[in-house]
Structure 1
Amino acid sequence: MITSLHLGNFKAFAKTQNIPVKPLTLIFGANSAGKSSIIHSLAMAHEAMRTGELDLFRTDIGGSSIDLGGFKQYIHRREITRRLEWGLTLGTGRFTGRLREIMEPMADITMTLTMGMPLDPKTDEPEPGAAPHVMTYELESDGQTLLRMSRRPGNQMALDLLPYKHPVLQRIISALLEGFTTTGAVSGEDLKSLEQPMAEIIAGLRSPMGTLFPKGIKDEGRDEDQSGSQLNLFPVSRGNRQEDLAKALRFFLPRTLDELIQELNTVMGSEINRLQYLGPLRSYPARHLAFAEHDDINWYAGGGYAWDVVRRNKEVRDKVNAWLSDAKRLSTPYELVIKNLLTIEDLEADYEHLVSGVETAMIDDDWSDFETAVGETVSGDHFGELYGILGRLKKSEEKFAAFQELILYDRRTETQVSHRDVGIGVSQVLPVLVSAFAAREKIIAIEQPEIHLHPALQAELGDIFIESALAGNNNNTFLLETHSEHLILRILRRIRETSENELEEGATPIKPDQVAVLYVQPGKKGSAILHIPVNEEGEFERPWPQGFFAERARELF
């Protein structure tokens, strides 16, 4: 659903940047230009939504790869009187239910937050001991403001702006009055007469803050008896029409706005929660994966979890093995296989031996030999419990997943090795492959997916990302911070082949509007993001800053 991000006063960025997001979004630029800041802003929002904290250092999703350093560090130029701006634009095409009805026929909806320190009005400096908060919340649809709220004391947001003539609001008001009152059709004159009542309604609307978004809309001035009424149709008389319409609007509009905000917040939150992050340096997990520490802060950001996915998921393991052995890809002699540390057969032998010993003891009514064998005094109750445990284990091989180890089998020497005994390239690419093969409906942000890979393999990753985003039912969105010329060249090639109907067998078709190529360019007033469109010939439609990977030309010529 996300079609763009909005980011201002965050790290390298000063002026708010509108960042298009496509199924494949590639972020290029010089070192320290601000490429990773785009991804880090998503990690910040993900953590803030989870905890309500904005003075963030480490994030749960980023492990040790993302250290924001607190608000005073990540605000642009460390000027703490600035306000960070962060937002998302969603296409409305996949909205469902009531939200779809309300937003029709709008093509998109943008939510923008500003975050900052409360300032002392006398000094324009942060109040002593102040912490950063969400200061404003704004919804915009098709380029027009739909509503705007700002912070008030007591962790409340007040509604400052609700443009009466916005098409969505006009539709909402007409639908409410025609559907829930006895008025029948609502005329343009009726709507015009409600402009002043609307202003009065706005003045009384408040919203308590959640962790990152306002929780909804409440009308502080609403009469309690009226708020509890269960009316089927609100009566509108001929002689008192305008007053009755105003009363109906006060009754129904706050509820509808509350419903709109809560539904949108649910959708926005779901989109943010789709984020999956893989840092620039993938770590080796423990030698024995079956007993790895899953609470390691880098379990996800460092890619350790990926080895466990391969251990548990045969479908993913088969795809990774195909990549490892393919002559056009890694072309290694290794194959990932499962080694059972404890098998059903092992348990069955012990189980039969145990049963035989129990039966003999019961027949002879003599438990002494059995007690000597097991080293303790036993009773019939012990055996009943033991029978149950062993029986359940025998019937469920899934119980043995904890006793399975992932190993690399070297087909050349017919020996097994640990993942810690092979080259660094395998360890760095495997989490990238697992992210693409195993994830479903995720926003997958990867810093430097090409690290430690041969140029030819960097190009092959292009096909992996295209397939994961656009083929089958994975439907992932990729944000790739990269320096790889070979990766983008493969994607451009596939675009050209798709338009010319010359795709090689097995390749996934891709169109220009499914790719966003971004270049982050540093400047004295902050970094700027340049969007470089691609055409059907697989060519850039605007000049690449300083030439497309001009370093190659300089070295060659």
Structure 2
Amino acid sequence: MKIKSITIQNFKGIRRKAVIPLAPVTMLFGANSSGKSSILHALIYLFEVVVNRNPDPEYSIITGEHLYLGGFKELVFGKDINNTITLGLDLDTSDDLDVFDEFMSEVERSFVEDNTGLYPDSQTDNPSFELDIAWNDLDNKAFVSEYRAFVYGRPFMTLRVEKGQKSVNVTLADMTHWPVADIFQELVEEVKTGFLLPIPLHKGDTALPDPSHRLNLDFVPWSWSDIYEVHPLAAKVFAEVSLSQGLLGPLRLLQKMLASLVHIGPLRVVPNRSFVAKRDVNRARWYDGQAGWDSFYHGSIWLKQLVNKWYGEEHFNSNYQFFNAPLGYGVALTDTRNSHSLLPSQVGAGISQVFPFIVASMKTDVGIVSIEQPELHLHPAWQVELTDLMLTQTNEQSAGKQFFVETHSEHMVLRLLKRIRESQDGDQPLDNKQAQIIFCEIYEGETRLRAIGITSDGDFDTPWPNGFFEERNKELF
């Protein structure tokens, strides 16, 4: 499963609704303070809302106290609590469909199949959702006011709760394109008519549904016996399961995916001789890179070999290899030229600054790597190798990771273009959809985002905006 796009509106400096295409490798480019990190922070905020069900986080468990979010009042555009933050994701689930079969027990499955002859397994390769987060001045807190689910890019269902109310209503926007069995096709007109008026779904003050429980259609304005006289209860269970697959399935997938997200900040620590690797890695330790050293120390022999291979002759050609320091004090290095043992603090800063990124890229339980300035302190020859690293780790053999990278490195972008261009002459050309560049800039006081794709010839599909490549040409000529 991969994230195909993220929708952002009224979040930090992004006022206008923006649908930002994402790829296995997405590079965020732009001047300082142009909004690049806002996209990464939107993903972190979405984690807090969807996974922790906290729309007003001061900090995130992903970044700990290293990154101050400040809650809704700090995150909403203009710090105006009258604005509503909108966030959404479009998912590619073509390689991960099991979640759509999990909204019933085996007993219920047999019950439905025996009494209707139908199999309530509906799915879509392209589910998506949006949610609105608003401020409730009556209770003085943020809340999810609306949750909208889409299938095949079209509206499916909407959950809504009004400020100050304690009951969530559901409306059905359009179900005619939802792939369901014959019995539910007969329900379409009945259900659409019934859902024109909001139906109380459950008690609560958030429109964000709990994906661990399927929908409860006990209070619908029709009789299930009128829909399926032979066995009304079987029809009801069938409807609940099928609708839950479209409404709640994407949330389950997202929770599963966000559980594998790590975020690495722009400044990584250099472990000193008193550093002790933690066995139980705190996710927040990824922000300053400590979790990379933790993971290496307690990682498998295979992980250590992969990391050291990247520092070897094939890539960085650094003459350094990493190993577990004695007495449990962390990670040390060997200089292969003279077999001397060294601490990370005794070698160039670039060696240790990039180390957490290499480890995260190699770890099998990390699905999304979000990082700010991976090229920090790196020679251009190493910067281009980082692009190769990401491209190799996004293929199917490497469990299909996704990388969201805030960067100023022209070298990484140029290597990306080069690899796509070179691959066209091979047996397995690199898909130009493997990478996406997002250019961020400030215009009239707000962040504007421009998607720049890559052609199959390894060139930009639109003219490059002002800055970076153009500025280099000014200096040269």
Q: Please tell me the TM-score bracket, short chain as reference.
A: 0.7 to 0.9
Distance 1:140 1:529 in 2: 24
The answer on whether the counterparts of 1:40 and 1:66 sit within 8 Å (CA) in structure 2 is no
* Pairs within 5 Å for 1:477-516: 477-501=402-426, 510-516=430-436
Name the counterpart of 1:368. none
Structure 1 residue 309, shift from structure 2 partner:
2.5
Determine if the alignment matches structure 1 residue 461 to structure 2 residue 390: no
1:258-300, Cα deviation, whole Å (9 max, x unpaired): 4543433211211222211111111123524546596778522
Distance 2:390 2:133 in 1: 34
Determine if the alignment matches structure 1 residue 113 to structure 2 residue 107: no
Name the counterpart of 1:287. 273
Name the counterpart of 1:203. 199
The answer on whether the counterparts of 2:282 and 2:291 sit within 8 Å (CA) in structure 1 is no
Name the stretch that deviates more: 404-413 or 447-456. Answer: 404-413
Distance of aligned partners of 1:283 and 1:298 in 2 relative to their CA distance in 1, 3 Å threshold: farther
Name the counterpart of 2:110. none
Name the counterpart of 1:269. 255
Structure 1 residue 256, shift from structure 2 partner:
3.7
Distance of aligned partners of 1:211 and 1:434 in 2 relative to their CA distance in 1, 3 Å threshold: farther
Name the counterpart of 1:135. 145
Determine if the alignment matches structure 1 residue 336 to structure 2 residue 332: no
Candidates 160, 172, 185, aligned match of 2:180: 172
Distance of aligned partners of 1:98 and 1:442 in 2 relative to their CA distance in 1, 3 Å threshold: closer
Name the counterpart of 2:160. 150
Name the counterpart of 2:376. 451
Which amino acid counterpart does residue 108 of structure 1 have in structure 2?
Answer: N
Name the counterpart of 2:109. none
1:122-175, Cα deviation, whole Å (9 max, x unpaired): xxxx33x5100001000122332111111145543211x31355321xx53734
Structure 1 residue 435, shift from structure 2 partner:
1.4
Distance of aligned partners of 1:64 and 1:428 in 2 relative to their CA distance in 1, 3 Å threshold: farther
Distance 1:543 1:405 in 2: 47
Name the counterpart of 1:356. none
Q: Give SS of 1:37's match.
A: helix
The answer on whether the counterparts of 1:289 and 1:307 sit within 8 Å (CA) in structure 2 is no
Name the stretch that deviates more: 86-95 or 426-435. Answer: 86-95
Distance 1:175 1:297 in 2: 47
Structure 1 residue 317, shift from structure 2 partner:
2.3
1:305-346, Cα deviation, whole Å (9 max, x unpaired): 2123222332232233333342x75443432233544xxxxx
Distance 2:190 2:304 in 1: 66
Q: Give SS of 2:394's match.
A: helix
Distance 1:197 1:411 in 2: 73
Distance 2:415 2:237 in 1: 58
* Pairs within 5 Å for 1:28-427: 28-97=29-98, 99=100, 106-118=124-136, 126-127=137-138, 130-152=140-162, 153=164, 155-159=166-170, 161-164=171-174, 166-168=176-178, 171-172=179-180, 174-176=182-184, 186=186, 192=189, 195-199=192-196, 202-206=198-202, 208=204, 212-215=208-211, 216-219=214-217, 221=219, 234-235=228-229, 252-254=238-240, 256-258=242-244, 260-290=246-276, 298-312=284-298, 313-326=300-313, 329-341=315-327, 403=328, 405-427=330-352
1:106-127, Cα deviation, whole Å (9 max, x unpaired): 5422110000112xxxxxxx33
1:409-447, Cα deviation, whole Å (9 max, x unpaired): 234444322122222111101111111122446011111
Distance 1:96 1:329 in 2: 37
Candidates 462, 467, 472, aligned match of 1:542: 462
The answer on whether the counterparts of 1:110 and 1:139 sit within 8 Å (CA) in structure 2 is yes
Q: Give SS of 1:28's match.
A: strand
Structure 1 residue 193, shift from structure 2 partner:
6.2
5+ long unaligned stretches in structure 1 = 119-125, 178-185, 237-243, 342-402, 503-507
Q: Give SS of 1:522's match.
A: strand
Distance of aligned partners of 1:149 and 1:466 in 2 relative to their CA distance in 1, 3 Å threshold: same
Structure 1 residue 458, shift from structure 2 partner:
0.4
Which amino acid counterpart does residue 235 of structure 1 have in structure 2?
Answer: E
The answer on whether the counterparts of 1:440 and 1:473 sit within 8 Å (CA) in structure 2 is no
Name the counterpart of 2:452. 532
Distance of aligned partners of 1:193 and 1:61 in 2 relative to their CA distance in 1, 3 Å threshold: closer
Which amino acid counterpart does residue 551 of structure 1 have in structure 2?
Answer: E
Name the counterpart of 1:366. none
Structure 1 residue 22, shift from structure 2 partner:
1.0
Distance of aligned partners of 1:498 and 1:172 in 2 relative to their CA distance in 1, 3 Å threshold: same
Distance 2:278 2:125 in 1: 47
Q: Give SS of 2:296's match.
A: helix
Distance 1:265 1:132 in 2: 20
Distance 1:102 1:4 in 2: 29
Name the counterpart of 1:5. 6
Distance 2:145 2:199 in 1: 18
Name the counterpart of 2:360. 435
1:13-70, Cα deviation, whole Å (9 max, x unpaired): 0111111121111111111111011111111122233432222222111134421122
Structure 1 residue 474, shift from structure 2 partner:
3.4
TM-score by length of 2: 0.84
Distance of aligned partners of 1:65 and 1:219 in 2 relative to their CA distance in 1, 3 Å threshold: same
Which amino acid counterpart does residue 15 of structure 1 have in structure 2?
Answer: R
The answer on whether the counterparts of 1:289 and 1:308 sit within 8 Å (CA) in structure 2 is no
Structure 1 residue 214, shift from structure 2 partner:
4.3
The answer on whether the counterparts of 2:375 and 2:409 sit within 8 Å (CA) in structure 1 is yes
The answer on whether the counterparts of 2:439 and 2:450 sit within 8 Å (CA) in structure 1 is yes
Q: Give the number of the structure whose alpha-carbon radius of gyration is greater.
A: 1
1:193-221, Cα deviation, whole Å (9 max, x unpaired): 66544546x53444656795445433353
Distance of aligned partners of 1:471 and 1:486 in 2 relative to their CA distance in 1, 3 Å threshold: farther
Q: What is the aligned length?
A: 453
Instruction: Name the one with the larger helix percent.
Output: 1
5+ long unaligned stretches in structure 2 = 102-118
The answer on whether the counterparts of 1:52 and 1:210 sit within 8 Å (CA) in structure 2 is no
The answer on whether the counterparts of 1:173 and 1:253 sit within 8 Å (CA) in structure 2 is no
Distance 1:251 1:320 in 2: 50
Distance 2:141 2:258 in 1: 23
The answer on whether the counterparts of 1:63 and 1:302 sit within 8 Å (CA) in structure 2 is no
Which amino acid counterpart does residue 10 of structure 2 have in structure 1?
Answer: N
The answer on whether the counterparts of 1:205 and 1:254 sit within 8 Å (CA) in structure 2 is no
